Amino acid sequence: MALITWSPQHSVGVERLDKEHSVLVDVLNDLHAAMKKGSAEDATEHLFWNLLEYTRSHFCSEETMMTRTGYPGLADHRATHSQLMKKIENYRKRIDRGKLSIDLDMLDFLRDWLIRHIQCEDRDLGRWMNEHGRF
């Protein structure tokens, strides 16, 4: 069973953002599936790196859209992104040092954060973009 199942209720009404969010869901699900199968540590770490890099890329893309449309919540939204990236970077450092392994608690945190972020902050962004210019 997938950690997250993408559904229309997750849509923010902006096709590009929805596609990027769907990819984030897929990458998180891939990591979850590998962990459940007991895949080798290097395989799950590779998937974690993919998640980290795609998250970074998505946040950059989203922040560029906010800048171009003059989104008034840009500073707060960017701060939320920054806080998550710091947490993920901390996970990565601890994994690299052998102090942490990828587990269900970590994946649950990432799933809950992503869903909450999409349904709150990104939904507000989607409304703004639909009113002030789409990409």
CATH class of 13-132: mainly alpha
Cα gap 11→6, rounded to integer Å = 9
- Residue that has been written with the tokens 């970074």 in this structure: 56
In the chain, domain spans: 13-132
Query: What pLDDT is attached to residue 28?
Result: 93
Give, in order, the Cα–Cα distances in Å from 29 to each of 4, 23, 80, 93, 132.
7, 10, 22, 22, 33
Q: Is pLDDT above 70 for 16?
A: yes
| Contact in structure between 107 and 28 (CB atoms under 8 Å) | yes
Residue with the larger pLDDT of the pair 46 and 23: 23
Per-residue confidence band for 135, with pLDDT thresholds at 50, 70 and 90? low
Question: pLDDT (tens digit, 9 = 90+) per residue, 73-131?
Answer: 999 999 999 999 999 998 888 888 877 778 888 899 999 999 999 999 999 999 999 99
Residue 34, classed as helix, strand or coil, is: helix
Cα gap 66→68, rounded to integer Å = 6
Cα gap 75→51, rounded to integer Å = 24
Query: What pLDDT is attached to residue 40?
Result: 62
Query: What pLDDT is attached to residue 134?
Result: 57
Its pTM stands at: 0.90
Q: What is the mean pLDDT of the chain?
A: 90
Question: pLDDT (tens digit, 9 = 90+) per residue, 31-86?
Answer: 899 888 876 677 788 888 899 999 999 999 999 999 999 999 999 999 999 999 99
